[in-house]
Amino acid sequence: MTTQPDRAAWLQGLSAQCSPAPASATPPWRLVLLGAPGVGKGTQAQLLHQHLGACHLSTGDVFRAASARKDCVPSPAMTAALEFMRRGALVPDRTVWEMVCERTGCLRCAGGFLLDGFPRTLSQAESLGQLLQKENLPLNAVINYELPLPEIVSRLSGRRTCSKCKAVFHITNQPPRSENICDHCGALLFQREDDRTESIKVRLQAYNQSTAPLIDFYSAKGLLLSIPATGSPEDISNRTLYALALRAPLPIFS
C-alpha cells in the first residue's frame, strides 16, 4: 500500500510543488475514470491509488480546494472558474480545459495518474488526447463504472449531510446513531437539494447525454473497460484490478 501524495500542484496550481513520486520498477499507470454520480468513483480512485501508486487527479477536488483556500492567488483559469461557481453556473468546457492545461506537469508525474472528472465531453476528450499525444503520455485504459439507475437513486437519495461539519451519512448504509443528528458534532442532518430524487434524475440525464459519446470515443480506440459497480468497494476494486491485469499484465496484485 502507498500513501496518498500531497497533490499540491494539482490542487493549488502553478506555483505549488508536489513531493517527488517514489521510484518504481514498473511503468506508471495512466487511467481515465468515468462513472455517473453515485457509483463510488472517488472511493475506487483511492483504492486504485493504493494498489497502483498513481495520483488521483480530481477536477472536483480542485474546485473544492480553490473555493476553500484564501491563502493563495488563483490562476487565471481558476479565477474564471470561481466566478462561474459564485454565480451558480456550470464551469464551461473551455475554462475547465484551461485549468487542466495549467496542470500539465501533474499528467507527467512519474507515478502515473487517475484522471477523475475530466474529460466530461467529447470535445474535452479530443483535446486531452491531443495533449497526451504531444507529451508522449499514452493512456493505459479508460474505466467506466456502471450501475443500474434505481441503485444510483437509492445511494444518492439516502445521503444526509451535517449542517455544521458537513459529515455525510446514509439512512440505510451508514445511519447516524440518533435519527437526523450528526454523530460527530450533534448538529442536524439535512438532504442536499441535488440529492433529491427529482434532481438526481436530471443530473443523471445530463451525465448520460454528455458521456455517451465518450463511451463510443474510447471504445473505438480500444481503451474502454466497463466495470459493474455493484457489491462492496473491495469487490469493485478487485474487478477493476483484474480487468487491468488482463489488459496489461503488470504486477498489480503483489
Q: Which residues are catalytic?
A: 41, 120, 159, 192, 203
What 3-state class would DSSP assign to 67?
helix
- Which phi and psi angles does 31 have, rounded to 5°? -130, 145
Task: Say how far apart CA 40 and CA 172 lie, in whole Å.
Answer: 16
Angle (nearest 5°) at CA 39 between 147 and 246:
75
Residues 61/9, Cβ–Cβ less than 8 Å = no
Residue with cell 438526481: 200
Cβ contacts of 61 within 8 Å, gap of 6 or more: 7, 10, 11
Q: Which amino acid is at 108?
A: R
The residues, any chain, with a CB within 8 Å of residue 220's CB and separated by 6 or more, are none
- Return d(Cα 241, Cα 40) in angstroms, integer: 16
CA angle 60, 61, 63 (to 5 degrees): 65
Record the cell numbers describing residue 150, joined without a space.
434505481
